Structure 1
Amino acid sequence: MSLGVVALLAILLSVGANLWILGKTQSRIEHDLLACGTAPVGIVFGTSYWNRGGGRNPHFEARMLAASRVIGERRVKHLLLSGDNRTRSYNEPITMWRDLRGRKVRDEDMTLDYAGFSTFDTLVRSRDVFGVERAVLITQPWHLPRAMFIADALGLEVTGCAAPSEHVPGVWRLKAREWLARLATVGDLYVWKRQPYFLGPKEPLQIAPYPGVRPPRYETLDLPD
């Protein structure tokens, strides 16, 4: 009976956490790339280039497509590519950078964050290291609610831009894991007070002007002597 009560409580907590997170974020998620919100920065969350079973990861492809389209349409001015580079042989930010260069995204429009070991770390570092205050989050639609919920808790002003989502074998496992991750996120933010794995010195983003866009002109005032 005790195990049954614990299991029931766990289910109720999980359902409650998911409903809370989805209710706070769904209205700010845009599924049409050309209608995504505007912000100075687009934060692109890293994922593996390859599938475990071999072949290119369709979730990586979808995120890169969305990122290139969003900056190409000037929905954002700069892309923060944040991912895992825990070892020399695995480098998500570099892989994203190379892919986006192939899609004609300028080098000066991208900044690489090598310590985005998790969704939480990426968002804390975007605020505390790179000085981001307002951003468009770019990832799969099932990942966006948790990412946006964390961003809200950190005081970031965000909207979600959903990468194109197609039916992929095994995606139900990712969605099931995300369901549990939302419950863990509530604990991280409000119970255990999670801290990022690594911060480091501040590196404010340098947002380059776009060709053909004139910088603002400021009128000078003639003040009396």
Structure 2
Amino acid sequence: MTLGAAALLAALLFVAANLWVLGRTHSRIEQTLPMCGGERVGIVFGTSHWTRSGVRNPYFDARMSASARLLRLGRVDHLLLSGDNRTRFYNEPVTMWRDLRGRQVADADMTLDYAGFSTFDTLVRARDVFGVEEAVLITQAWHLPRALYIADAVGLEVTGCAVPSPSRRVSGEWRLQAREWVARVAILGDLYLWGREPHFLGPLEPLEVAPPFWEAWLFPEMPETPTR
């Protein structure tokens, strides 16, 4: 009976923790891509270019397609591409950069973060290394609640942009979503119990965000008044 009661309590706490994270964030998740953004910076979370079965990862494609479209629509002005680069054989930021260049995104509109080993690391580094204060987070809908919750906890002002779902069913999607339920509980411990820190920080390197084209058109620089 004691073990049963403990298991029931653990299950209730597990569900309650997830509902807490979902409840605190759902109102700031935009599901319609053209309505996303409205911030200067979009943070794009890295993921593998390929699945374990050796086919192109549709979640990666969805993030890249959405990011490029948000730039074209003028919903963001700059993309912070943050991902894992633990070894020279695996480099998520460079893979994102190459893909986006193929989608006609200019180099000046992208910054690469090579130490975004986790959602937590990406968001703390965005604040402490790249000087980001406000941003839109670009990723799948099931990932956004945890990302938004972490961003709130570290003091970022963010909204979430849910990228469109793949047109075809993805094998093992249920495992990703189940893992996300566990990750939401784990992040509460990281934030409030264990004092988690990112793997690497570094000196402040503020993003160089080019002004949107319409800003230069509407507000041209006034000529200097000649001195006499």
Work out the CA distance in 1 between the residues paired with 2:88 and 2:6: 43
Q: Which residue of 2 aligns with 1:214?
A: 216
Q: Deviations over 1:117-169 (max 9, x none)?
A: 00000000000000000000000000000000000011101000011113322
Q: Is structure 2 residue 144 aligned with structure 1 residue 147?
A: no
Deviation at 1:219, TM superposition (A): 7.9
> Which range moves more in the overlay, 81-90 or 188-197?
188-197
TM-score normalized by the length of structure 2 = 0.92
CA distance in 2, matches of 1:154, 1:147: 11
2:160 alignment partner, SS class: strand
Is the Cα–Cα contact under 8 Å of residues 37 and 70 in structure 2 kept in the other structure?
A: no
Q: Report the counterpart of residue 196 of structure 2 in structure 1.
A: 194
Residue 223 of structure 1: aligned partner: none
Range with greater deviation from structure 2 (200-209 or 81-90): 200-209
- The residue number in structure 1 matching 2:226 is none
- 1:117 is aligned to 117
> 5+ unaligned residues in a row in structure 2: which ranges?
224-228
2:83 and 2:92 in contact (8 A); partners too:
yes
Shift of 1:43: 0.1
- SS for the counterpart of 1:85 is coil
Whichever residue aligns with residue 69 of structure 1, its letter is: R
| Alignment partner, residue 19 of structure 1 | 19
Residue in 2 that maps onto 1:99: 99
Aligned mates of 2:10, 2:89 — CA distance in 1: 38
Q: What is the distance in 2 between the residues matched to 1:198 and 1:159?
A: 25
Q: State the secondary structure of the residue aligned to 1:184.
A: helix
Identity of aligned residues (%): 68
Counterpart of 2:80?
80
Q: CA deviation at 1:218?
A: 7.6
What do you get for the CA RMSD once the two structures are aligned? 1.7
Give the TM-score normalised by structure 1: 0.94
SS at 1:43's partner residue? strand
Q: Which runs of 5+ in 1 are unaligned?
A: 221-225
